[in-house]
Chains A and B, each alone.
Chain A
Amino acid sequence: MSELTRFSAAELAEKIHAREVSSVEVTTAHLDRIAAVDGAVHAFLHVDTAGALAAAKAVDDDIAAGKPPASPLAGVPIAVKDVLTRMGAPTTCGSRMLEHWEPPYSSTVVRRLESAGLVVLGKTNMDEFAMGSSTENSAFGPTHNPWDLDRVPGGSGGGSSASLAAFEAPLAIGTDTGGSIRQPASVTGTVGVKPTYGGVSRYGLVAFSSSLDQAGPCARTVLDAALLHEVIGGHDPLDSTSINAPVPPVVAAAREGTGGDLRGVKVGVVSEFTGEWYQAGVTGAFELAVDALRQLGAEIVKVSCPSFDYAMPAYYLIAPSEVSSNLARFDAMRYGLRVGDQDGATAEEVMTQTRGAGFGAEAKRRIMIGTYALSSGYYDAYYGQAQKVRTLISRDFEQAFNQVDVLVSPTTPTTAFRIGERVDDPVAMYRADLCTIPANLAGTPAISVPAGLSDEDGLPVGLQVMAPALREPRMYRVAAAYEFARDIALGGSLINRVPDLEVAR
C-alpha cells in the first residue's frame, strides 16, 4: 500500500499545495488501492479512473501555473455515495430501478466538490435508496467491513464508510436520513457528520425522506470532516429548504478542539440511550469516552429526553410515508428500468411489473407501510401522530440544550454485526438507528467520532455528539478534543489498527 493513502486529507492537501506531491500521484495511489482491495471490500459501484486523473491533472496544472488552490482540499480525492447525481456516470442509488441511469445534471454537492478542486474517484455502494443499516439492501451486493470482511460496514452509506476504513479514499460524502452517515462511521472506526437540516443542499440528492435527508462529510479525522463540511455547506437557491445563512465555522472549531481543552463545556449524557439493546462493550467504551471528556475539563451531567423512546416508531411512519411518494416516480415511463413492455401491455401494467421487478424487499416494505400510513382514515392515527412525536422530540432537544452545550450517546447500540445476521429481522436492523434518529427528526446536527474498540469483539465503537441547530462548532470542538485525547491514550490513530486487507485477502 502506498504511504499516500495513509495520510489525512488535510495532510494530503498541504503536500499537494506545497508541490511535495502531485494530485495525480495521490489520485493514482488511491485508484491503485481501490484496484487492490475493492474486490474484497466492494465499497464502490463505479470508479471513474479517467475522470479522476483528469481532475487531478487540472489541479496540478493550476498549482504549477502559480494559481492559488480552489479550496483547502483542492487536489484531494473523494468518494461520493451513489445517491447524489453526477453527470457523466450512472447514479444507481443501489437499485436495479436505476441500474443504467445517467443523470443529465449534477447535484449541488458534487458541483461544489468539483469547483473546490476535489477529485471524485467514483460512487459508493449503499442500501437501496438509502434504506437500511448494513448495505445488504444494495441490489449490487453488500459492502464488507474492512475491520472484518464477514461483517457489515453499516448503512445505508456503508460504501462511503468502508472506502475510508480501507484507505481507498481519504474523504467521502454520505447522506443521513436516520443515521446513514453516523452509524456506518461508528462501525468502521471513521468520522461522520449529519449537518443541521438545510445546512447542505439536497438538490441532486435522490430523495428517500425529504424532510429528514441530509448530506454530510465522512472522513478519518474530525478536522478532515470539518474541512469537507465547509466545502459542501451553505445556501443553495435550488433547494427551498436550504438555510440562507453562512456555514458555521467548523474548521476553526475543530482546530480549537485539537488543543484538548474542554473547560467550561457542559456535556449532557442522554439517559434514554441505554438498556437491553446495548452491547456491553459499546456501553463500556462509551463510559470511557465520557470519562475522557471529563478529564478534558468538561462538566458532565445526566439529561433525560423522554420522547426519544418514541423516535424510532415515529421515524418508521414519517420516513416510509415520504418514501411512498418519493419513489412513485419510478414508473418506467421516462427513465430507468422498464419491464413488461410487450404487445398489448398497458402503461399501468408496465408500471406494475417494473416496480415489482425493480424494487428490493425493503423498498417495497417501506412503500407499503407509508402508503398505509397516509391512507384516508389512518392518516391521523399514524402520520399525524408521528408528526406530533416529532414536535415533542424537538422540545426535548430544546430543553436539554437549555441545560447543556452538547449531548452525547453511543452512536449505535452494537458494533458491526455479521453479514446476514439481521436480514430476516427488520426491527433488529432498524434498532441500529436508535440513537441517531432523534437528530434527524429534530433537524439538529450530530457527529460520530471513533471511541475505541469494544471489549468483546475488538470492533470500533462510535461516540455521538449532538448540538443545537446551526451550532455545529460545539460538536466539532468536543469531538476534536476527544479525538486528540484518545489518540494520545492509544498511542496513535485508531484507524491504523484496521487489518491489512492485502494480506487478509
Chain B
Amino acid sequence: MTSSTVDLMDYDEVLERFDPVLGLEVHVELNTNTKMFCGCSTTFGGEPNTQVCPTCLGLPGSLPVLNRVGVESAIRIGLALGCDIAPWCRFARKNYFYPDMPKNFQTSQYDEPIAFNGELVLELADGEVVTVGIERAHMEEDTGKSLHVGGATGRIHGAEHSLLDYNRAGVPLIEVVTKPITGTGARAPEVARAYVTALRDLLRALGVSDVRMDQGSLRCDANVSLMPKDATEFGTRTETKNVNSLRSVERAVRHEMTRQAAVLAAGGTIMQETRHFDEATGGTRAGRRKETSEDYRYFPEPDLVPIAPAADWVERLRTTLPEMPWQRRKRVQTDWQLSDLELRDLVNAGAIDLVASTVDAGATPDQARAWWVNYLSQEANSRGTELAELPITPVQVARVAALVTDGALTNKLAREVVDGVLAGEGEPDDVVAKRGLAVVSDEGALTAAIDEALAAQPDVAEKIRGGKVQAAGAIVGAVMKATKGQADAKRVRELILERCS
C-alpha cells in the first residue's frame, strides 16, 4: 500500500471533530563504556559481532551482571524528570521470540520501574508552556540488529536472508514513557516534537547519552489516538515506530491524526497496531497487528538480585544533576537581559550553548547572539546543517568580535573574516592576514607611526617635501623599527610620500 491510496482528512476538519491523545515512548541508549549486563564495549559502528561475549550472545550458562553506571544514569534521568525513585525494584523478563534477541527474552523492567511519576515542562515556539506527565522511566537492554537482504524494502517480508549483528545487544537503554498527553488540539504534532526536543536537551545536559536520533541512540515511538469531541474514553491507538528525527516526530503525529480521522469518519475502526513511519512520503504503513495483544509472560528476572538504591546514594546523585535546560533559559534571560522574543529566537536557533561559550571566550552577549542567531544560523540553514556542526568555534567567533571591538575590523570586514574561517582558511587572525584585511585596517596605526617619525626627524621630512624622494628611506626604517618589522615597507613608503605631498 502506498500513501497515495490512503485517505487523509483535512487537518482543520480533524480538529473540529476530534481531540488527539498522544503517548510518547522514548528509548535512550546510555553512553556507558560497557553494556548493561556484561563488559563488552558499547562503541557505535564496530565491525559486526566484534563486541560480544557469552552473556550478550545469550550463550547457554551465561549470566548477567548489572552495570552500576547504568543504574546511576537511570536514577539521574528519573531525578531530572522529577520522578520518584523506587526504594526497591527488580528486573523482569519480557518473553518473545525474535532472531535479533539472543535469549529470546529481553531483560527489562515491568511493574517495578526504577523511576516513576514525573513531569517535563516544555516551551513551544510562541512561548506557550506545556507540562507533560511522565509515567515511568525504566531500565532495559537493547536488541541486536537485523539486516534483511534481498527484499525490496529492507523488510523481513520478501527478504532472501537476514544478517544479524549483536554488537548492540545488551547496550543499556532507558525507556521514558509519558502519561497520556491530552488537550493539545491543533498543537499535538508540535507538542510531540517539543517533548522529544526537550527530553533530548535534558539527556544531553545530563551527559548520559549521545542522543543521536540518526544513529538510533534516541528513538521515539509515537502513540496516537483520536477521540470524538463528545467522547469520554480514549480511542484505539496506533504506535508509530521508525521515527528517526525531530521533524519526523511532528510529521508522523500529524499524519496519523489525519489518517485515523479519515478512517473513523468513513465509519471504520482503528486497528491497534504498530505502524512504520516512511521518511520519504511522510506517511505510515501498517506493521505488526496488536489486536490480540502479545503476551510477554513477564516474570521477575531470577538471575539478577533486586535493586534497592540507598536514599543517601540517590541524594548524592541528585547533587550531580546539571542545570536543567529550562533553568538555564531562565538564567541566561536574566544574565544577558533578553526580552522574551530575543530568548525565543535564541532557543529556536538552538544557540544557547554556543552563545554562552562565546561569551565565556570574551564576547559580549549581544555580539555573541548577533553572530550565532543571525549570521551563522542563516549559514547553517543554507548548508542544511546544525548550527553546532558549522566549522567555526565559539572561541573563533569571540576573537572576531574582539577585533571589531578594538576597531581593527568593521562589521562588514568581520563577516569576511568569519566566511574565511568557515571556508577553512584558519584562525580569524590568519584570515585577516591572508586576505590582507589587517593591512587596510592597520593603516591608521601605520599613519600615526609615520607622523611620529616625521616629527622626530623634521629635517628629513623637509627634504622629502622638497622632492628628495630617496630621503624617505630613513623614515621607512624608523617606522619599521617602531612596528617591529610587521608593516609592509612598500606600503609605508607610499604612505610617507602621500603624507609629504
Interface centre among B60, B61, B102, B297 (most CB of A within 10 A): B60
B299 x A379 contact (CB < 8 A): yes
Residue contacts A-B, CB under 8 angstroms, 5 given: A104-B54, A207-B60, A325-B297, A329-B58, A329-B103
Judge whether B304 is part of the interface by a CB distance below 8 angstroms: yes
Contact with A along B41-80 (1 / 0, CB 8 A): 0000000000000100111111111100000000000000
Q: Which of B154-168 contact A (CB under 8 A)?
A: 156, 162, 164
Residue of B nearest to A370 (CB): B297
Judge whether B99 is part of the interface by a CB distance below 8 angstroms: yes
Q: Which of A295-334 contact B (CB under 8 A)?
A: 321-322, 324-325, 328-331, 333-334
Q: For residue A325, which residues in chain B have a CB less than 8 angstroms away from its CB?
A: 93, 95, 105, 297, 299
Instruction: Evaluate whether A328 and B103 lie within 8 angstroms (CB atoms) in the complex, with A104-B54, A351-B97, A371-B297 already known.
Output: yes
B303 x A240 contact (CB < 8 A): yes
B60 x A240 contact (CB < 8 A): no
Judge whether B302 is part of the interface by a CB distance below 8 angstroms: yes
Partner among A93, A105, A206, A210 whose Cβ is within 8 Å of the Cβ of B303? A210
State how many angstroms separate the Cβ of A427 from the closest Cβ of chain B. 24
B105 x A104 contact (CB < 8 A): no
Judge whether B448 is part of the interface by a CB distance below 8 angstroms: no
Instruction: Evaluate whether A206 and B54 lie within 8 angstroms (CB atoms) in the complex, with A328-B97, A331-B97, A333-B164 already known.
Output: no
Partner among B59, B64, B299, B304 whose Cβ is within 8 Å of the Cβ of A383? B299
B297 x A91 contact (CB < 8 A): no
Judge whether B147 is part of the interface by a CB distance below 8 angstroms: no
State how many angstroms separate the Cβ of B67 from the closest Cβ of chain A. 11
Known: A105-B54, A329-B60, A330-B60. 5 other contacts (CB 8 A): A107-B61, A204-B61, A207-B60, A329-B58, A374-B95
Interfacial residues, chain B to chain A (CB-CB below 8 A): 54, 57-66, 93, 95, 97, 99, 102-105, 156, 162, 164, 295, 297-299, 302-305
Q: Which of A374-389 contact B (CB under 8 A)?
A: 374-376, 379, 383
Judge whether A103 is part of the interface by a CB distance below 8 angstroms: yes
Q: For residue B99, which residues in chain A have a CB less than 8 angstroms away from its CB?
A: 331, 333, 347
State how many angstroms separate the Cβ of A375 from the closest Cβ of chain B. 6
Instruction: Evaluate whether A321 and B63 lie within 8 angstroms (CB atoms) in the complex, with A333-B99, A351-B97 already known.
Output: no
Q: For residue B54, which residues in chain A have a CB less than 8 angstroms away from its CB?
A: 103-105
Q: For residue A375, which residues in chain B have a CB less than 8 angstroms away from its CB?
A: 295, 297
Instruction: Evaluate whether A240 and B305 lie within 8 angstroms (CB atoms) in the complex, with A105-B54, A348-B97 already known.
Output: yes
Residue total for A at the interface (Cβ-Cβ under 8 A) = 44
B295 x A376 contact (CB < 8 A): yes
Interface centre among A85, A98, A205, A238 (most CB of B within 10 A): A238
B63 x A328 contact (CB < 8 A): no
Residue of A nearest to B157 (CB): A346
CA–CA, A375 to B96, complex, Å?
A: 12
State how many angstroms separate the Cβ of B90 from the closest Cβ of chain A. 12
Instruction: Evaluate whether A240 and B297 lie within 8 angstroms (CB atoms) in the complex, with A210-B302, A328-B105, A347-B99 already known.
Output: no
Instruction: Evaluate whether A84 and B61 lie within 8 angstroms (CB atoms) in the complex, with A328-B97, A374-B95, A374-B297 already known.
Output: yes
State how many angstroms separate the Cβ of A333 from the closest Cβ of chain B. 5
Interface centre among B102, B295, B299, B304 (most CB of A within 10 A): B299
CA–CA, A484 to B73, complex, Å?
A: 58
Task: Kindly list the 5 A-B residue pairs having the minimum CB-CB distance in the complex, ordered from nearest.
Answer: A328-B104, A211-B302, A374-B297, A210-B302, A206-B60
Instruction: Evaluate whether A205 and B61 lie within 8 angstroms (CB atoms) in the complex, with A322-B302, A325-B95, A331-B104 already known.
Output: yes
Partner among A91, A203, A328 whose Cβ is within 8 Å of the Cβ of B95? A328
Q: For residue B59, which residues in chain A have a CB less than 8 angstroms away from its CB?
A: 103-105, 334-335
Partner among A203, A241, A322, A334 whose Cβ is within 8 Å of the Cβ of B102? A334
A374 x B299 contact (CB < 8 A): yes
Residue of B nearest to A336 (CB): B60
Q: For residue B63, which residues in chain A have a CB less than 8 angstroms away from its CB?
A: 202-203, 238-240
State how many angstroms separate the Cβ of A85 from the closest Cβ of chain B. 5
Partner among B57, B105, B162 whose Cβ is within 8 Å of the Cβ of A347? B162
Judge whether A275 is part of the interface by a CB distance below 8 angstroms: no
A241 x B305 contact (CB < 8 A): yes
Instruction: Evaluate whether A329 and B297 lie within 8 angstroms (CB atoms) in the complex, with A85-B60, A101-B60 already known.
Output: no
Interfacial residues, chain A to chain B (CB-CB below 8 A): 84-85, 91, 93, 98, 101, 103-105, 107, 202-207, 209-211, 237-241, 321-322, 324-325, 328-331, 333-335, 347-348, 351, 371, 374-376, 379, 383
Q: For residue B104, which residues in chain A have a CB less than 8 angstroms away from its CB?
A: 328-329, 331
Interface centre among A93, A202, A324, A347 (most CB of B within 10 A): A347
CA–CA, A128 to B174, complex, Å?
A: 37
State how many angstroms separate the Cβ of B218 from the closest Cβ of chain A. 28
Q: For residue A101, which residues in chain B have a CB less than 8 angstroms away from its CB?
A: 60
Q: For residue A328, which residues in chain B have a CB less than 8 angstroms away from its CB?
A: 95, 97, 103-105
Q: For residue A351, which residues in chain B have a CB less than 8 angstroms away from its CB?
A: 97
CA–CA, A204 to B62, complex, Å?
A: 5
Residue of B nearest to A321 (CB): B299
Interface centre among A206, A374, A375 (most CB of B within 10 A): A374
Partner among B102, B299, B303 whose Cβ is within 8 Å of the Cβ of A329? B102
CA–CA, A384 to B151, complex, Å?
A: 44
CA–CA, A241 to B156, complex, Å?
A: 38
Partner among A202, A207, A239, A376 whose Cβ is within 8 Å of the Cβ of B297? A376
Q: For residue A329, which residues in chain B have a CB less than 8 angstroms away from its CB?
A: 58, 60, 102-104
Residue of B nearest to A203 (CB): B63
Residue of A nearest to B98 (CB): A347
CA–CA, A93 to B60, complex, Å?
A: 10
Q: For residue A239, which residues in chain B have a CB less than 8 angstroms away from its CB?
A: 63, 65
Residue of A nearest to B57 (CB): A334
State how many angstroms separate the Cβ of A331 from the closest Cβ of chain B. 6
Q: For residue A91, which residues in chain B have a CB less than 8 angstroms away from its CB?
A: 60-61
Q: For residue B295, which residues in chain A have a CB less than 8 angstroms away from its CB?
A: 375-376
Residue of B nearest to A210 (CB): B302
Partner among A203, A347, A376 whose Cβ is within 8 Å of the Cβ of B62? A203
Partner among A240, A321, A371 whose Cβ is within 8 Å of the Cβ of B304? A240
Q: For residue A107, which residues in chain B have a CB less than 8 angstroms away from its CB?
A: 61
CA–CA, A203 to B57, complex, Å?
A: 14
Residue of A nearest to B53 (CB): A105
CA–CA, A214 to B335, complex, Å?
A: 63
State how many angstroms separate the Cβ of B299 from the closest Cβ of chain A. 6
Interface centre among A98, A211, A334 (most CB of B within 10 A): A334
CA–CA, A329 to B57, complex, Å?
A: 10
CA–CA, A403 to B95, complex, Å?
A: 43
Interface centre among B58, B97, B99, B302 (most CB of A within 10 A): B302
State how many angstroms separate the Cβ of B129 from the closest Cβ of chain A. 39
State how many angstroms separate the Cβ of A503 from the closest Cβ of chain B. 40
Residue of B nearest to A205 (CB): B61
CA–CA, A241 to B64, complex, Å?
A: 10
B65 x A237 contact (CB < 8 A): yes
CA–CA, A104 to B52, complex, Å?
A: 12
Q: For residue A210, which residues in chain B have a CB less than 8 angstroms away from its CB?
A: 302-303
CA–CA, A397 to B9, complex, Å?
A: 67
